[in-house]
């Protein structure tokens, strides 16, 4: 949720939000009687994660707001738990944007970390969702916002009382307004509504930053993690805005203290739930990401790769994309990064690619056959569109062409996208050429093919920059991907494999996605020179083939 371009618009959105109706800090009557069991421990092998904004997914009671019961009803769309079927997406992981009680529609400013947002239901509704998700083999990770909370939170309201308030040290204060500005030149010191003093909030005055120099704050963050892991049954966390956790003098981003706390937090999560997954938002390039490895969170979103994936299909050149993935593989072991095309803060993929569905299909093919843990934002799989402001990136899911797009029987909390009558799940359900069909095929393929799910990555050299060519290898399981990301057909493009790429011999190429390509002859040193996958490579088409030694 953190980029310079978003801060002004983001603040404007929040200014219109009302106060919560309930500010109880921890109501133990809402806890389930027994902990929820975990999902399968090795779910990450080949998994694709599906990002869901609960408010916009499915409304079960007609109030126009998506809720947890509605999401539970739609779990079979995400994964029905039956590997013999293919009418589900096949995702084995689900990331829920914030579901804790909050005064805003998006939830990135909690008033109660221990209570489900009442618009979405109850704690019991959440634990039932988790049980049903686990029954289908879907791991559940939730957004956890540690940097700040809501200015409506009881602890901040208490701290406004002055220097002797019990929670005063939970926040940063100044008797006079410091001259320092934020990372993007924004105001970060905000005047108290009650006293002649100022508090620190890097994103907005409605989101006061927590002070992690205070031991009680660190301990509370860990208690919250324990609650969600043991009582609510989640399988991990997406950690929001982690570079901003600890400020040190004039340094506001990526401080020594931030890295130290992330180590402490991650160690606590692993101690409570050894198989829990943590993925952090570090909205920056790889050089700024690397200091967060190897011993802090398990994974971080690779914003570089998102940009390069879209740039490749927009410009018709794949060379920069291949170099970037190769660098990630060299710098970060075991593919501990998370890939995506777009998320809830960014222009949707189809909009960013000018409405060209073929470009989206190629981008999705690359995303779901390259290394990392891929995330798919809800609605991307049917080609939902949307651009800033943020609410228009988070519009209701388009299920049918009926009133309310099948999302609600009432009035949607946010107006539907204009394309909902033609762009919806029902319209694509049985169309084998649809974007939805492509996503289903690719997600299931990744889950069932060990080379795509966890294999290493070997970029190949193509004679045209418009061609992305690479191998994914896991033992004897080998997959070749050749994609023409350009706008024109290409003839007689050659692909070279380096020495040691494969054992010597002849390999048959069986199509998994796209058309068949030519067999491959591998030299004694394991290299291939002058290989022509197909006499003609059609524009915006990808071929994914399994290589098997010929008898």
Q: Torsion angle, CA of 412/126/53/57, rounded to 10 degrees?
A: -40
* Biggest CA-to-CA distance, the chain: 83
Answer yes or no: pTM beyond 0.85.
yes
Contacts of residue 317, defined as CB under 8 A and 6 or more positions apart, other chains included, come to 311, 465, 466, 485, 486
Tokens (6 digits) for 334: 């075991």
Nearest CA to 221 out of 287, 272, 275 is that of: 272
What pLDDT does 32 receive? 45
Asked whether the beta carbons of 378 and 97 are under 8 A apart, the reply is no
Q: Does residue 82 have an active-site annotation?
A: no
> Residue 333: what pLDDT?
84
State the Cα–Cα distance between residues 543 and 66, nearest whole angstrom.
Answer: 38
Q: Which of 125, 281, 298, 345 is catalytic?
A: 281
What are the chain's domains? Answer: 44-147+216-448 (3.20.20.80), 154-200 (no CATH), 455-549 (2.60.40.1180)
Q: What is the pLDDT of residue 41?
A: 62
**C-alpha to C-alpha distance for 193 and 199, rounded to whole angstroms:** 10
Q: What's the sign of the alpha-carbon dihedral 333, 293, 238, 202?
A: negative
In which residue ranges of the chain is pLDDT below 70?
Answer: 1-41
DSSP 230: I
Question: What local confidence, expressed as pLDDT, does residue 551 receive?
Answer: 82
Helical residues (DSSP H) of 227-341, grouped into ranges: 256-272, 286-289, 303-315, 319-331
Do 24 and 123 touch, CB atoms closer than 8 A?
A: no
Residue among 240, 298, 304, 390 flagged as catalytic: 240
240 catalytic residue (yes or no): yes
For 295-320, the pLDDT digits (tens) are 999 999 999 999 999 999 999 999 99
CA angle 528, 485, 359 (to 5 degrees): 145
Nearest to 208 by CA among 179, 174, 256, 185: 174
Cβ–Cβ under 8 Å, residues 429 and 439: no
- Please give the DSSP secondary-structure letter assigned to residue 229: I
Other beta carbons within 10 angstroms of residue 438's beta carbon come to 22
Helices and strands (H and E) in the chain: how many: 15, 24
Cα–Cα distance, 234 to 221 (Å, whole number): 16
Tokens at residue 62, please?
Answer: 């007609």
18-43 residue pLDDT tens: 333 333 344 433 444 445 555 556 78
């Amino acid at each position: 949720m953190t980029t310079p371009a978003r801060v002004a618009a983001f603040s404007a959105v929040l200014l219109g939000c009302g106060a919560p109706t309930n500010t109880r800090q921890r109501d133990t009557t809402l806890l389930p009687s027994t902990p929820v069991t975990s999902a399968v421990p090795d779910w990450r092998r080949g998994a694709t994660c599906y990002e869901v904004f609960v408010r916009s997914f499915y409304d079960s009671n007609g109030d126009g707001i998506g809720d947890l019961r509605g999401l539970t009803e739609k779990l079979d769309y995400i994964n029905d738990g039956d590997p013999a079927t293919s009418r589900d997406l096949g995702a084995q992981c689900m990331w829920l944007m914030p579901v804790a009680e909050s005064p805003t529609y998006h939830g990135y400013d909690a008033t109660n970390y221990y209570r489900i947002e009442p618009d979405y239901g109850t704690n019991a509704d959440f634990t039932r969702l988790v049980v049903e998700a686990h029954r289908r083999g879907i791991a559940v990770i939730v957004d956890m916002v540690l940097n700040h909370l809501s200015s409506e939170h009881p602890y901040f309201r208490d701290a406004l009382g002055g220097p002797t308030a019990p929670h005063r040290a939970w926040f940063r204060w100044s008797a006079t307004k410091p001259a320092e500005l934020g990372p993007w030149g924004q105001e970060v010191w905000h005047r108290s509504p009650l006293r002649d003093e100022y508090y620190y909030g890097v994103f907005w005055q409605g989101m006061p930053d927590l002070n992690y120099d205070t031991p009680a704050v660190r301990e509370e963050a860990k208690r919250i993690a324990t609650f969600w892991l043991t009582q609510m049954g989640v399988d991990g966390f997406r950690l929001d805005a982690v570079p901003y956790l600890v400020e040190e003098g004039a340094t506001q981003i990526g401080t020594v203290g931030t890295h130290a706390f992330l180590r402490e937090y991650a160690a606590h999560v692993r101690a409570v739930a050894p198989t829990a997954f943590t993925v952090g938002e570090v909205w920056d390039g790889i050089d700024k990401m690397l200091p967060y490895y190897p011993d802090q969170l398990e994974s971080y979103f690779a914003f570089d790769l998102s940009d390069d994936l879209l740039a490749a299909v927009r410009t018709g050149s794949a060379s920069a994309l291949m170099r970037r993935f190769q660098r990630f593989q060299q710098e970060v072991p075991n593919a501990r990064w998370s890939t995506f095309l777009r998320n809830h803060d960014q222009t949707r993929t189809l909009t960013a690619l000018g409405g060209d569905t073929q470009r989206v299909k190629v981008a999705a093919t690359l995303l779901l056959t390259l290394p990392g843990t891929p995330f798919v934002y809800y609605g991307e799989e049917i080609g939902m569109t949307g651009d800033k402001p943020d609410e228009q990136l988070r519009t209701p899911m388009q299920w049918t062409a009926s009133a309310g797009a099948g999302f609600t029987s009432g009035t949607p909390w946010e107006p539907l996208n204009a394309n909902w009558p033609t762009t919806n799940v029902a319209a694509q359900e049985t169309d084998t050429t649809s974007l939805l069909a492509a996503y289903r095929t690719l997600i299931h393929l990744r889950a069932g093919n060990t080379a795509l799910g966890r294999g290493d990555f070997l970029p190949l050299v193509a004679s045209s920059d418009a061609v992305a060519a690479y191998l994914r290898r896991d033992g004897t399981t080998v997959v070749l991907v050749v994609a023409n990301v350009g706008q024109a057909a290409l003839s007689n493009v050659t692909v070279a494999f380096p020495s040691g790429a494969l054992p010597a011999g002849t390999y048959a190429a069986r199509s998994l996605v796209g058309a068949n390509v030519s067999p491959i002859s591998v030299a004694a040193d394991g290299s291939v020179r002058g290989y022509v996958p197909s006499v003609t490579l059609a524009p915006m088409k990808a071929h994914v083939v399994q290589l098997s030694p010929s008898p």
